[in-house]
Amino acid sequence: MKLTVFLTLLGRFASTIAHETLLGRHDIKTIFTGAHWSINTTVSFPGSDSFTNATVRWSTFHQPTYAVAVSPATEADVIQAVKLATSNGIPFLATGGRHGYTTTLGALNNGLAIDLGQFDTIRVDQHRGTLTIGGAVTLKIGTCSCPGMVGVSLGPGLGPWGGVHGLVIDALLSLHVVTANGTLIEVSKSSNPDLFWAFRGAGANFGIVLSATYQLQKQVNNGQVFVLESIIPNKLNHSYFDILEQYDGGKLPKELAIFTFIAFNSTTEAVQLRSIWTYFGPETEARNAMKSIYDLNPTITSEVTYGWNKVIQSVSGGSDYYQCQRGSVQDIYTINARNLSTSTYKDSFERLSNFYEETPAGRECLLQMSMYPNQAALAVPDDETAYPWRDTIAILDLLFTWKDDTSNTEQAVETLAKDLRRDLAATSGYPELAVYINSAHGDETLESRYGARDYSWRHAEKWERATRM
């Protein structure tokens, strides 16, 4: 049994959402209003505020459509919602932070939204050193404060801590899960271990996580992070990309993360290169680690030491608030890279610059390059979890958005995005396009998302039982 078995089983679960229910909206309303729910559970239908609150997404691009939303207050109501959906052939999606943006979500039509918003508890067990959170809790651990922590964790939770603390899945101890057939199970190394392996990095299709428990780690540098923000004058962009390439081959110190943005500046009306360098360590050590960028003499906009939980809201002039706004088109393409390439980044800079000139409606599109150290992530054996890209050192996100609804803009944006993705993937160091599952656009091959590994040692029957409706 080869990789195909694993992928077929994944595909089988995915196919359960990739269709429209044959029932009419009236039938669905009867089914869900006819059931008995606990007092704090809300059942809502299109046209009401509570339905909007339960379903509004960060991105409207290829979003799912629903005939009904259930916001369960109890585990029993999650199970009931799943059973009503499966027994009536209604496709459904459980949501946490509603920041997922893969276009495959658009295959779900006229379905059931299971809004986990009431599963929002946070519990710290000081004795065991663990954190347990509900399935929809959002925490400030990544590049933005609003995605769901469980949603982020499953895919596998990447961020600037990868050098010191590892991936978020590496801290995961157990999950409390409702499976597709409505059974409540514990998933951990000792309970349903195959499913635990799959949940850690192969995405969110294996069941509904009501709560997740993580091992807490000791703070580094008392939780203080030194952050340098700067604007790189356009004439220095080649030298800046040369600096980035010097970190190729695992040379990024484990405490240092580098974010680079190629974007349009509406004040100067031109392309602009911006960077944020973060360091989990004392300021003097940080400045030393950042010597190359200081030597470049960029325009420094901020040099501040923050508590780790204040960084996201504070950097980029507080842009986190705007990044978290829901309800806009977000057409995103991502490339994982284990090699860095000055020439490709220079070329991307030129092409974005030309694009901004030619397509004013696309000027909010940008390329975000996040270079994450991966020493602690690499210390975990590759086959320990389903995440196949532990050697990734950069996540290249084409964050494309537009406001006008002419098909010309969409066409121009998509043409550029696909060209840039092809070229960035060609120098990424992976033989094919590689993308971590949470950031997949939706048109990638299964191998691009899950890795071309041999899964034959996994127990196929267990997968099937856990995933089939």
Ligand X SMILES: Cc1cc2nc3c(=O)[nH]c(=O)nc-3n(C[C@H](O)[C@H](O)[C@H](O)COP(=O)(O)OP(=O)(O)OC[C@H]3O[C@@H](n4cnc5c(N)ncnc54)[C@H](O)[C@@H]3O)c2cc1C
H or E element, residue 49: helix 49-55
Residue found by looking up tokens 């944020």 in the block: 276
Between residue 420 and residue 459, which ones bind ligand X under the rule CB under 6 A?
Answer: 438-439
From 77-85, 89-97, 231-239, 412-420, give the range in contact with ligand X by CB under 6 A: 89-97
Task: Give the residue, chosen from 31, 144, 169, 377, that forms a contact with ligand X under the rule CB under 6 A.
Answer: 144
Taking CB under 6 A as the rule, which mask of x and - marks residues 40-69 in contact with ligand X? ------------------x-----------
Greatest CA separation for the chain: 69
Q: Which residue, 93 or 369, is less far from ligand X as judged by CB?
A: 93
The DSSP secondary-structure symbol of 219 reads: P
What is d(CA 93, CA 71) in angstroms, rounded to the nearest whole number?
12
Q: Which residue, 32 or 199, is less far from ligand X as judged by CB?
A: 199
| Residue 370 bridge partners (DSSP) | 259, 395
- Token pair in block for residue 135: 């399935």
Taking CB under 6 A as the rule, which mask of x and - marks residues 151-170 in contact with ligand X? xx--x-xxx-----------
Q: Which residue, 159 or 233, is less far from ligand X as judged by CB?
A: 159
Contact status: 323 vs ligand X (CB under 6 A): yes
From 21-29, 77-85, 146-154, 386-394, give the range in contact with ligand X by CB under 6 A: 146-154
Contact status: 176 vs ligand X (CB under 6 A): no
Q: Which residue, 95 or 392, is less far from ligand X as judged by CB?
A: 95
What is d(CA 460, CA 466) in angstroms, rounded to the nearest whole number?
10
Contact status: 286 vs ligand X (CB under 6 A): no
- Using DSSP bridges, classify how beta strands 92-95 and 66-71 pair: parallel, antiparallel or unpaired: unpaired
Contact status: 97 vs ligand X (CB under 6 A): yes
Contact status: 116 vs ligand X (CB under 6 A): yes
Contact status: 94 vs ligand X (CB under 6 A): yes
Q: Do 290 and 324 meet the contact criterion of CB atoms below 8 Å apart?
A: no
From 76-84, 139-147, 222-230, 360-368, give the range in contact with ligand X by CB under 6 A: 139-147
Task: Give the residue, chosen from 9, 93, 171, 386, that forms a contact with ligand X under the rule CB under 6 A.
Answer: 93
Give the 3-state secondary structure of residue 74.
coil
Q: Do 238 and 346 meet the contact criterion of CB atoms below 8 Å apart?
A: yes
| Nearest residue to 246 via CA among 296, 301, 283 | 296
| Residue 265 bridge partners (DSSP) | 270
In angstroms, the Cα distances linking 397 to 92, 197, 438, 461 are: 28, 26, 12, 36
Chain residues that interact with ligand X, rule: CB under 6 A: 58, 93-101, 116, 135, 142-144, 147-148, 150-152, 155, 157-159, 204, 208-209, 323, 438-439
